[in-house]
Structure 1
C-alpha cells in the first residue's frame, strides 16, 4: 500500500511539472508580440533590425527635420547625438511633440526608415524617458535640466 501511495504522489508531481512547463510555454508564446525592445538610433545604425521586428526607438527630434506631408504623413529625424534615423508616421502627433524634444516611437525599421505606428512625446519641459536619457548620456549629448 505504501508503494501505491508513493507511485501516486510521483504521478501527481510529474503531471504538475508538465502542466507548469506547458503553461510557461503558452504564456511566453502569447507575449512574444507584446514585448517591444528599446533601441537608440546608434544601435539601429550599427545593427539594423529585421524588417519584421517591432521595437521602440527614442531620442531627440532633430531641428529642421519635421515635415508634415500630404495625407497626414509626418517625417522627421530622431537622433541620440551619435547617429540619426529618419522616421515616418501616419497619424496625429501628440500636442507636446516638437523639434529638439524627446520622443519614443514604436514601429519597424524598413528600407532605412523607421515606420512608426505610435509616437509618444515628453510629458512636460523637464521629463524625458529613462531609455532616451541613457542613450543620450552614452553619446555624451545629454545635459541635466538646470545645465546650459
Structure 2
C-alpha cells in the first residue's frame, strides 16, 4: 500500500470514529434533555406525551394526601391559573411544604395525573425556581387581563 493510500485510510477511519462519537454524544444529550412546563401549558396540550418533562409551580394549600402505605403522596401543583395533580412514590424533600414552590419531574399518565419520579423543593424562604416563578407571573398577568376585560365588558353593557 502506498503512503498516500495509507494516509487516506487513516483520514477515513478517523472521520468514521468521529462520526460515531458525535452520534453517541448527541443521543445521550437527547435522552437526558428535560423541558419545563407550567400546569397551564400542560392543560393546553403543549407538554409531550409519553416523554419525561418537568412541571412546576406552588403546592396548593391543603392538597397533600398520604396514601395508606405511607410512601405514596398526592398533591396539587398550581400556577394560580390551572392546577395539576401530582402522584409521587418516595420520600419528599425536607423543604417540601404546602404553599411553597416545587418542581417535579416525571410523565403524564392516561388519567391526566402527573406521575413524578423526582420532586425538587425550593432551598430557602425567598427562592422559587425561575421557570416556576415565570409560570406564576404569567398566570397572574393573564388573570389581571381577564379581569380587566370582564370589567370593560360590564361597563359597556351597563351604558
* Normalised TM-score (structure 1): 0.81
Unaligned runs of 5+ in 2: 142-159
- The equivalent of 2:83 in structure 1 is 84
Return the alpha-carbon distance in structure 1 between the equivalents of residues 39 and 75 of structure 2. Answer: 13
Higher helix share: 2
Residue 6 to residue 59, structure 1, CA distance change in 2 (3 Å): same
Identify the residue that residue 145 of structure 1 maps to in structure 2. Answer: none
Largest Rg, 1 or 2: 2
Task: Give deviations 1:44-88, integer Å, cap 9, x for gaps.
Answer: 1111531x3111111101112111221121111101122111001
Q: Shift in Å at residue 17 of structure 1?
A: 2.7
* Structure-2 separation of matches of 1:39 and 1:5: 57
TM superposition score normalised by structure 2: 0.76
Matches within 5 A, 1:50-69: 50=49, 52-69=50-67
The residue that corresponds to 2:73 in the other structure is 74
Q: Which residue of 2 aligns with 1:25?
A: 23
Deviation at 1:94, TM superposition (A): 1.2
| Cα RMSD for the two superposed structures | 2.0
Residue aligned with 1:93, SS: coil
**Aligned equivalents of 2:15, 2:82: Cα separation in 1:** 48
1:43 match: 41
Q: Give runs of ≥4 in structure 1 deviating > 6 Å.
A: none
* Aligned mates of 1:134, 1:16 — CA distance in 2: 46
What is the alpha-carbon distance in structure 1 between the residues aligned to residue 5 and residue 124 of structure 2? 64
CA gap 1:8/1:114 in 2 versus in 1, 3 angstroms: same
Distance 2:106 2:38 in 1: 13
